[in-house]
Amino acid sequence: MDKWYSLSGDQSDTVISTRIRLARNIDDIAFPWRLDFQGKTKVNELVKNAVFEEFPEQFGYISMTDLSHLQAVSLAERHVISPEFTSCEEGTGLLISSDESVSIMICEEDHIRLQVMKSGLALSEAYKTADSIDNSLDKSLHYAFDERIGYMTADPTNLGTAMRASVFLHLPALTACGQINAISNTVSKLGLSIGGAYGSRKKPAGDIYQISNRITLGITEDTATANLESIVRQLINQERSAAEREIKNPALEDKIYRSLGVLENARMLNTDEFMELISYVRLGAAVGIIDIPIETINALITDMQPATVSVTNEGIDTVAARDIRRAELVRKALVQNR
Amino acid sequence: MDKWYSLSGDQSDTVISTRIRLARNIDDIAFPWRLDFQGKTKVNELVKNAVFEEFPEQFGYISMTDLSHLQAVSLAERHVISPEFTSCEEGTGLLISSDESVSIMICEEDHIRLQVMKSGLALSEAYKTADSIDNSLDKSLHYAFDERIGYMTADPTNLGTAMRASVFLHLPALTACGQINAISNTVSKLGLSIGGAYGSRKKPAGDIYQISNRITLGITEDTATANLESIVRQLINQERSAAEREIKNPALEDKIYRSLGVLENARMLNTDEFMELISYVRLGAAVGIIDIPIETINALITDMQPATVSVTNEGIDTVAARDIRRAELVRKALVQNR
């Protein structure tokens, strides 16, 4: 089955993907940090049974300790699990749909971290899916919920909706012209958080940003996603204007084509260089000067992350071998799609 | 008519071209530096008439003062004239065959500087052509010649054969591995001179070297060219061994393909970068990993020199415009030949 991130989505020139994450805990069971292995195992069983009953044959279950560290990091690179979940502690488990668009981390910070991912901008669609799965599970699991403070969560900053909605944006033009810093400040003041989706949050690899709601208390899910969507749509317009303006600079056009030339020809590509070059190529595709489908580029950005290259290809036991294989895969994908 | 440098030649993986240059002066006329405009004009007439009579319709004549400085520099870039001849002084003229393989500078340092150029390694062939033209002209022009010291020349270091034979070599692997310095020292000790054919002689642009005989007195033309050829053949073998060894380095292979990718995609290319990248691509073609004819690459190296780009293309009035046009021409030439 095709992975969700290889599908086309709305506003895909600028928006890579949308994610809704709900934190839930089962009533009358302590938060994971207070549970021993047996307690966590019980939570795993409860969640697994509920999911398998409600959604037969749609999910696979993995005990996180059965994964190698590299396999876990690869899942984090694909945003299927959180970076914190890669430590593969005993008693943690993962339910995952075959297209990887729905995943449930069991005994992460909370008993349940349900994630729904969609290509492009799809906040209400993703929320609808998450909400429907959530409602089905609530029937048998009985969530810890308080009329006044909403869903109970291990971290009090998540109380209320316990929802975190994120949009992953590619903002190369706003980054190139330096406007991104002012935008980040404004976005923060509006109760949202913004940072790099890959690499460090200070210097976002590939000019890819994750923008999320921060407020969960005293607000409905619909209002929170609507707020986020409204800001995201402004960012999309700003990026498009900046791209239209910046692309008139012959040096940028030159850089875009050179990046394509290197990606189509290099025999070794490390992650940093790949992310830098693919960002230029994606901008070229977004403004229509390079004829490569955005979906191909999105899939590459996900598939070419270091741990993912290592676990999805055989015989990659050194960084050098990984860089050679990455170059090979990138070449094939881009040349095929030209 | 195709220019001589776009034709294929012997040993063309390593040898770009061969040039024979003969210096001649007419008996009973002072050397150019002692002539006034009238005297030089007379020499121009004598040489022109002799050439037109012996080789009807094969040569065009240009008074150097009719050329713009850029046109003159372009001729020097194509090795049709010497760099010194670009000052376009009054009373200097140029006879040139339509394929540019034979040129005669009139009133350069000597009355006559006859040059014959061939693609690849072709010392005896080029000498034969030069000698035959020289003999024809001698009939009407009566050269200044002394049985003991040979052809009389303005600069005494040219006395004797007054022949300078040059081979233009592409030595990227010997340059990359650093062996070129030791080789230069050895070559100098053998009575030859070696230096960069483009750019400064210390840091040869495009790893292209000119190697020439230095000794003209007490040696026949055949011996001088045979000596040069023997050393050149050794250099060819050394370069091939070095290339075979160096190409096993994945970083070099990567660099070759990246260079091709940039040349095929860039929208702006300055001369230095072009020379650096085309050298890698030429090495790739020489070792057989890139399928572009060496002749295409040789022609590009000549045609993409700065003054030549400016004079052979319309509307190039800034360096930026030249870099954009160069990128366009390189792209077309390489993509067409793949």
Query: Looking at the complex, does the CB of residue A258 fall below 8 Å from at least one CB of chain B?
Result: yes
Instruction: Say yes or no for a CB contact (<8 Å) between A266 and B250.
Output: no
Nearest to A267 among B254, B265, B320 (CB): B254
Query: Looking at the complex, does the CB of residue B264 fall below 8 Å from at least one CB of chain A?
Result: yes
Pairing relationship of beta strands A150-151 and B93-97 according to DSSP bridges: unpaired
- CA–CA separation, A70 and A86 (whole Å): 9
Instruction: Say yes or no for a CB contact (<8 Å) between B265 and A261.
Output: yes
Q: What percent of chain A has pLDDT over 70?
A: 98
Query: Looking at the complex, does the CB of residue A324 fall below 8 Å from at least one CB of chain B?
Result: yes
Q: How far is B187 from chain A (nearest CA, A)?
A: 36
Instruction: Say yes or no for a CB contact (<8 Å) between B266 and A257.
Output: yes
3-state helix, strand, coil in chain A (%, to 5): 50, 20, 30
Query: Looking at the complex, does the CB of residue B253 fall below 8 Å from at least one CB of chain A?
Result: yes
Max CA distance (Å), chain A: 63
User: Taking a C-beta distance cutoff of 8 angstroms, is the pair B110, B24 a contact?
Assistant: yes
- Please, where are the H alpha helices in chain B? 37-54, 69-77, 123-141, 172-176, 180-189, 221-246, 250-265, 271-286, 294-303, 306-312, 319-336
Q: How far is A271 from chain B (nearest CA, A)?
A: 16
3-state SS class at A59: strand
Q: What is the DSSP string of A93-151?
A: EEEEETTSSEEEEESSSSSEEEEEEEEBS-HHHHHHHHHHHHHHHHHHH-B-EETTTEE
User: Taking a C-beta distance cutoff of 8 angstroms, is the pair A47, A112 a contact?
Assistant: yes
Sort out which chain A residues have CB atoms less than 8 A from B268's CB and list them: 250-251, 254
**Smallest Cα–Cα separation from B218: which of B278, B270, B162, B262?**
B162
* pLDDT tens for chain A, residues 1 to 338: 678 888 888 999 999 999 999 999 999 999 999 999 999 999 999 999 999 999 998 999 999 999 999 999 999 998 999 999 998 788 999 999 999 999 999 999 999 999 999 999 999 999 999 999 999 999 889 999 999 999 999 999 999 999 999 999 999 999 998 898 899 889 888 889 998 887 665 678 999 999 999 989 989 999 999 999 999 999 999 999 999 999 999 999 999 999 999 999 999 999 999 999 999 999 999 999 999 999 999 999 999 999 999 998 888 889 999 999 999 999 999 987 66
Sort out which chain A residues have CB atoms less than 8 A from B251's CB and list them: 268
B273 vs B180, B211, B234, B278, B304, CA distance in Å? 21, 24, 29, 8, 11
Q: How far is B57 from chain A (nearest CA, A)?
A: 46
Question: pLDDT value at position A127?
Answer: 97
- Which residues have C-beta within 8 Å of that of residue B66, sequence separation ≥ 6? none
Q: How far is B263 from chain A (nearest CA, A)?
A: 8
Question: pLDDT value at position B35?
Answer: 94
Beta carbon pairs, A and B, within 8 Å: 52
Low-confidence residues in chain B, pLDDT < 50: none
Nearest to A265 among B250, B260, B320 (CB): B260
Residue where the block lists tokens 């040039």: B19
Q: Which site among B255, B256, B257 would you substitute to test the A interface, given the most A Cβ atoms closer than 10 Å to its Cβ? A: B257
Instruction: Say yes or no for a CB contact (<8 Å) between A261 and B257.
Output: no
Q: Which residue from B minimizes the CA distance to A267?
A: B254
Residue length of chain A: 338
Instruction: Say yes or no for a CB contact (<8 Å) between B267 and A260.
Output: no
Fold of the B4-243 domain: Creatine Kinase; Chain A, domain 2 (3.30.590)
Nearest to B257 among A254, A257, A266 (CB): A266
Q: Which residue from A minimizes the CA distance to B252?
A: A267
Sort out which chain A residues have CB atoms less than 8 A from B266's CB and list them: 254, 257-258, 261
Q: How far is B255 from chain A (nearest CA, A)?
A: 7
User: Taking a C-beta distance cutoff of 8 angstroms, is the pair B331, B263 a contact?
Assistant: yes
Residue length of chain B: 338
- CA–CA separation, A161 and A174 (whole Å): 32
Amino acid at A145: F
- Which residues have C-beta within 8 Å of that of residue A24, sequence separation ≥ 6? A110, A111, A112, A113, A114, A134, A137, A141, A143, A144, A151, A162
User: Facing residues of A193 across strands?
Assistant: A212
Query: Looking at the complex, does the CB of residue B171 fall below 8 Å from at least one CB of chain A?
Result: no
Max CA distance (Å), chain B: 63
Amino acid at A173: A
Q: How far is B229 from chain A (nearest CA, A)?
A: 37
Sort out which chain B residues have CB atoms less than 8 A from A251's CB and list them: 268
Considering just the CA atoms, what is the radius of gyration of chain B in Å?
Answer: 20
Q: Which residue from B minimizes the CA distance to A328?
A: B254
pLDDT averaged over every residue in chain A: 92
Hey, what's the torsion of the CAs at B258, B261, B267, B270, to 10 degrees? 40
- CA–CA separation, B293 and B6 (whole Å): 10
* DSSP assignment letter at B120: B
Instruction: Say yes or no for a CB contact (<8 Å) between A266 and B260.
Output: no
- CA–CA separation, B318 and B310 (whole Å): 9
Query: Looking at the complex, does the CB of residue A254 fall below 8 Å from at least one CB of chain B?
Result: yes
Question: pLDDT value at position A114?
Answer: 97
Query: Looking at the complex, does the CB of residue A250 fall below 8 Å from at least one CB of chain B?
Result: yes
Query: Looking at the complex, does the CB of residue B328 fall below 8 Å from at least one CB of chain A?
Result: no
Instruction: Say yes or no for a CB contact (<8 Å) between A263 and B267.
Output: no
Query: Looking at the complex, does the CB of residue A262 fall below 8 Å from at least one CB of chain B?
Result: yes
Sort out which chain B residues have CB atoms less than 8 A from A320's CB and list them: 250
Instruction: Say yes or no for a CB contact (<8 Å) between A261 and B266.
Output: yes
Q: Which pair of tokens denotes residue A90?
A: 């005993």
Nearest to B261 among A253, A264, A268 (CB): A264
Q: How far is A205 from chain B (nearest CA, A)?
A: 22
Q: How far is B277 from chain A (nearest CA, A)?
A: 12
Q: How far is A263 from chain B (nearest CA, A)?
A: 8
Q: Taking the model in full, what pTM does it have?
A: 0.88
First and final C-alpha spacing in chain B: 24
User: Taking a C-beta distance cutoff of 8 angstroms, is the pair A111, A26 a contact?
Assistant: yes
Query: Looking at the complex, does the CB of residue A281 fall below 8 Å from at least one CB of chain B?
Result: no
Query: Looking at the complex, does the CB of residue B268 fall below 8 Å from at least one CB of chain A?
Result: yes
Question: pLDDT value at position A1?
Answer: 66
- CA–CA separation, A79 and A75 (whole Å): 6
Model confidence pLDDT, tens digit, residues A89-124: 889 999 999 999 999 999 999 999 999 999 999 999
Task: Say if residue B99 is exposed, middle or buried (CB neighbours under 10 Å; 0-12, 13-18, 19+).
Answer: middle
Q: Which pair of tokens denotes residue A188?
A: 């923060």
Sort out which chain A residues have CB atoms less than 8 A from B324's CB and list them: 250
Domain boundaries, chain B: 4-243, 250-336
User: Taking a C-beta distance cutoff of 8 angstroms, is the pair A282, A260 a contact?
Assistant: no
